[in-house]
Amino acid sequence: MRKLSFLNKTILYALLVAGSVFCLFPILWMLRTSIIEMGELFQNPPKLLPSHWYMDNFKQALSAYPFGRFFMNSAIITGGAVAGVLLTSSICAYSFSRMEWPGRDKVFGFILTGLMIPFFVVMIPQFVFWKSLHLTDTFVPLIAPAWFGGGVFNIFLLRQFFMSIPRELDEAAKVDGCSHFRIYWQIILPIGKQALIVVGLLTFLTNWNDYLGPLAFITSEKNYTLMQGLTLFQGSYTAQWNLMMAATSVIVIPSLLVFLIAQRYFIEGIAMTGIKG
Amino acid sequence: MKTEWTIPRTLSRHKSANVRKKRPKDLVYGLLFASPVLLGYLIFVIIPIFVTIFLSFTKYNVGKPPEFIGLDNYKNLFSGADPFFYPAVKATVYYVGVSVPLGIILSFFAAILLNQNIRGRTIFRSIFYLPVIIPLAASSMVWLWLLQPDFGIVNYALQTLHLPTSKWLGETASVIPTLILFSFWTLGNTIVIFLAGLQGIPSHLYEAIEIDGGNSFHKLIYVTIPMSSPIIFFNTVIAFINGFQTFVQPAVMTQGGPSNASLLYVLYLFNEGFKFSRMGSASSISVLLFLVVIVFTVVLFAFSKSLVYYEGQGSKK
């Protein structure tokens, strides 16, 4: 690619830095507020950094509600969903990419329409369905869908990847008498590891960050997820922004860590969704 | 660090040379392997859609069996007997109508910036994407704090610069513009999709413009925008469909207020179903949302053949 002129480069950097400030500042301000003492909270002019790190906010915020429990609830739901998605979306993607059956692509095209259907359209019948099974206010409604293919988006992503694996591999295995399940388990899955990581990470975030699902299906406080716990907090600590930001930080940090560790996969994963051309 | 997806090139080349034969005997196993998603689609999507349509003609609040009332729910909505319907539609059209076009322009522009050959672009890309991974419920809280009318840092900064301040989420006139501003914070996904598209534009097209003596503006107008048009279109439709489903931000930050100015459609739908447990009426609200989304989906799918390209398929493109 051609080198940019000095002026263009300066403007470019200025715009990128401005954009970065817009993206980063709220997160930094959250972290900053979470370690500030109540007395300094409304100080005018505000100090950029607190005079000392007041870590007590975290202790106070986390003991105000059973955050440990909320954390466990979120972890169980997220873990259950990630396991389900990895297993079922990959086996479905195998069928739609490595197996030949009449109508395969038509059926897949039909299922793809599911990408467009808002959860809000099916939310009420789903609630009625789980209610009739007496499973509302449990984690089942939040985990079960992940065990049924785990969302078309994930299957789409894996299918894209599986299709790029040379067919000679499983054809040779088939000649050797391998069953489809063995080909899937011992050949395709190991090769598709990278794509599975992407799916796992995206599923982690979707479920960890989910607000609407728990709000619709979970009612009693002992089953609340972290996101619900946060709003609970908001209701009663309206002016204590330092405590609120401490609680928020605790909720954000797992997502932040996952991203920092695996950022390459995220951006590639989004870019991989088939809009390359 | 590479941003290009690393499907080994040699592998995909092998693939297209491969001759495919029909193997109908795989039908049973094919369906068996696909059964999780087939069942899931049936249980969690297809059947619920029909149930929603059915419930929309009933009076239903879970405790008692649904009572058929014909078109009454719809009449209630359209006649204005339900005081929230038109405010919700108005707020949503305002929010979506402004945030989507502006968001597309901004993210396209950002993608072009992030596609330049400069030092540290991987870091910039990560920074622009970062807000997407923050739980929306959490970032809504953070923005609530930033935008506090009295003690928020944003108003403080504006004051110091002698610029007018705002009540942001606290006033009917400014609440939707504030939510729109917040929506720009999470454009990372759209930016990355644009970026992937920009990387697919062959560089000889730009070289041709250079040979003809064109400048960057010509490149943008004659190459970048036309070559990205399918993705621009794709992102726009997806953004509209997602925009209609904006829930967490108003639910956490404003609860639809002040005076229903930010009562976005799906928040209204949620309240109707879960807060007031009027499931029948909520179903009719869902059906209307569904119709709107169908229109957008049909448009998208009509164009999708030229948009989506499967790498391994060895197709014409």
In a domain, B69, yes or no: no
In a domain, A108, yes or no: yes
Beta bridge partners of B68: B58
CA A272 to chain B, closest CA, distance in angstroms equals 7
Whole-number pLDDT of residue A271 = 62
Are residue B100 and residue B42 in the same domain, yes or no? Answer: no
Are residue B31 and residue B169 in the same domain, yes or no? Answer: no
Are residue B94 and residue B128 in the same domain, yes or no? Answer: yes
Are residue B305 and residue B219 in the same domain, yes or no? Answer: yes
Q: Give yes or no for residue A154 having a pLDDT over 60.
A: yes
C-beta of residue B246 within 8 angstroms of C-beta of residue B95: yes
* pLDDT more than 90, % of chain A: 56
C-beta of residue A271 within 8 angstroms of C-beta of residue B111: no
In a domain, B147, yes or no: yes
pLDDT digits (tens, 9 = 90+) for A241-253: 999 999 999 999 9
pTM: 0.88
> Taking CB atoms and an 8 Å limit, are B251 and A211 in contact across chains?
yes
* pLDDT more than 70, % of chain A: 94
The closest CB to that of B37, out of A111, A184, A245, belongs to: A111
Identity at B219, one-letter amino acid code: K
Whole-number pLDDT of residue B304 = 66
Are residue A44 and residue A81 in the same domain, yes or no? Answer: no
> Taking CB atoms and an 8 Å limit, are A149 and B118 in contact across chains?
no
Are residue A10 and residue A113 in the same domain, yes or no? Answer: no
Are residue A44 and residue A132 in the same domain, yes or no? Answer: no
Phi, psi for residue B307 in degrees, rounded to 5: -95, -45
- Chain A positions in Cβ-Cβ contact with residue B30 (cut-off 8 Å): 95, 99-101, 104
Are residue B180 and residue B230 in the same domain, yes or no? Answer: yes
Are residue A51 and residue A83 in the same domain, yes or no? Answer: no
> Taking CB atoms and an 8 Å limit, are A275 and B51 in contact across chains?
no
Are residue B49 and residue B84 in the same domain, yes or no? Answer: no
In a domain, A104, yes or no: yes
Supply angle C-alpha B181, B187, B191, rounded to 5.
140
Helices A6-34 and B136-146 cross at an angle (nearest 10°) of 90
Alpha carbon distance A255, B100 (integer Å)? 26
Long-range contacts of B89-94 (CB under 8 A, 24+ apart): B89/B265, B91/B176, B91/B260, B91/B261, B91/B262, B91/B263, B91/B264, B91/B265, B92/B244, B92/B264, B92/B265, B94/B176
Phi, psi for residue A78 in degrees, rounded to 5: -65, -45
**Which residue of chain A comes nearest to B271, CA vs CA?**
A216
Q: How confident is the model at residue A97 (pLDDT cuts 50, 70, 90)?
A: very high
- In chain B, % helix, strand, coil (3-state, to 5) comes to 70, 0, 30
Beta bridge partners of B59: B67
How many of the other CB atoms lie within 10 Å of CB of A156?
A: 21
In a domain, A277, yes or no: no
Alpha carbon distance A103, A91 (integer Å)? 18
Which tokens hold the place of B83?
């005081």
Range list of β-strands (E), A38-135? none
- Chain B positions in Cβ-Cβ contact with residue A92 (cut-off 8 Å): 33-34, 36-37
* CATH code of A137's domain: 1.10.3720.10
> Taking CB atoms and an 8 Å limit, are A30 and B244 in contact across chains?
no
Are residue B51 and residue B185 in the same domain, yes or no? Answer: no
Are residue B41 and residue B121 in the same domain, yes or no? Answer: no
Number of domains in chain A: 2
Are residue A20 and residue A104 in the same domain, yes or no? Answer: no
Are residue A27 and residue A78 in the same domain, yes or no? Answer: no
Residues in contact with B26: Cβ distance below 8 Å, sequence separation at least 6, in sequence order: A99, A100, A101, A180
Helices (H) and strands (E) in chain B, counts: 16, 2
User: Sign of torsion, CA A142 A143 A149 A152?
Assistant: positive
- Chain B positions in Cβ-Cβ contact with residue A167 (cut-off 8 Å): 14-15, 18, 20
Whole-number pLDDT of residue B11 = 43
Q: Give yes or no for residue A273 having a pLDDT over 80.
A: no
Are residue B158 and residue B51 in the same domain, yes or no? Answer: no
Over residues A98-124, mean pLDDT: 90
Question: Mean pLDDT, chain A, as a whole number?
Answer: 89
Of A203, A257, A261, nearest in space to A77 by CA = A203
- Chain B positions in Cβ-Cβ contact with residue A27 (cut-off 8 Å): 130-131, 134, 142
Are residue A36 and residue A172 in the same domain, yes or no? Answer: no
Are residue B160 and residue B213 in the same domain, yes or no? Answer: yes
Alpha carbon distance A151, A165 (integer Å)? 22
User: Sign of torsion, CA B147 B152 B158 B162?
Assistant: positive
* CATH code of B170's domain: 1.10.3720.10
Below-70 pLDDT ranges, chain B: 1-25, 304-317
Are residue A95 and residue A211 in the same domain, yes or no? Answer: yes
Which tokens hold the place of A174?
């088939």
Residues in contact with A115: Cβ distance below 8 Å, sequence separation at least 6, in sequence order: A152, A153, A156
Which tokens hold the place of B229?
């048009």
Whole-number pLDDT of residue A167 = 87
> Taking CB atoms and an 8 Å limit, are A94 and B12 in contact across chains?
no
Residues in contact with B311: Cβ distance below 8 Å, sequence separation at least 6, in sequence order: A160, A163, A164, A276, B7, B12
Over residues A57-62, mean pLDDT: 89
Q: Give yes or no for residue A133 having a pLDDT over 60.
A: yes
Helices (H) and strands (E) in chain A, counts: 15, 0
Of A141, A118, A132, nearest in space to B287 by CA = A118
Are residue A133 and residue A177 in the same domain, yes or no? Answer: yes
Under DSSP, the state recorded for A1 is: -
Residue to test with chain A: of B9, B16, B43, B44, most A Cβ within 10 A: B44
> Taking CB atoms and an 8 Å limit, are A125 and B193 in contact across chains?
no
CA B86 to chain A, closest CA, distance in angstroms equals 19
CA B23 to chain A, closest CA, distance in angstroms equals 6
> Taking CB atoms and an 8 Å limit, are B135 and A208 in contact across chains?
yes
What domain range is B141 assigned to?
Answer: 79-316
Phi, psi for residue B120 in degrees, rounded to 5: 80, 15
- pLDDT higher at A191 or B306: A191
Q: Which ipTM was obtained for this model? A: 0.89
3-state secondary structure of B67: strand
> Taking CB atoms and an 8 Å limit, are B30 and A101 in contact across chains?
yes
- Chain B positions in Cβ-Cβ contact with residue A122 (cut-off 8 Å): 44-45, 48-49, 52
**Which residue of chain A comes nearest to B210, CA vs CA?**
A2
Are residue A14 and residue A111 in the same domain, yes or no? Answer: no
Are residue A76 and residue A104 in the same domain, yes or no? Answer: yes
Are residue B94 and residue B50 in the same domain, yes or no? Answer: no
Whole-number pLDDT of residue A270 = 62
Alpha carbon distance B12, B107 (integer Å)? 31
In a domain, A158, yes or no: yes
Are residue A200 and residue A252 in the same domain, yes or no? Answer: yes
What domain range is A148 assigned to?
Answer: 66-272
Number of domains in chain B: 2
Whole-number pLDDT of residue B153 = 93
Whole-number pLDDT of residue B308 = 52
Are residue B109 and residue B202 in the same domain, yes or no? Answer: yes
In a domain, B83, yes or no: yes
- Chain A positions in Cβ-Cβ contact with residue B6 (cut-off 8 Å): 194, 268
Pairing of strands B58-59, B67-68: antiparallel
Q: Give yes or no for residue A277 having a pLDDT over 60.
A: no
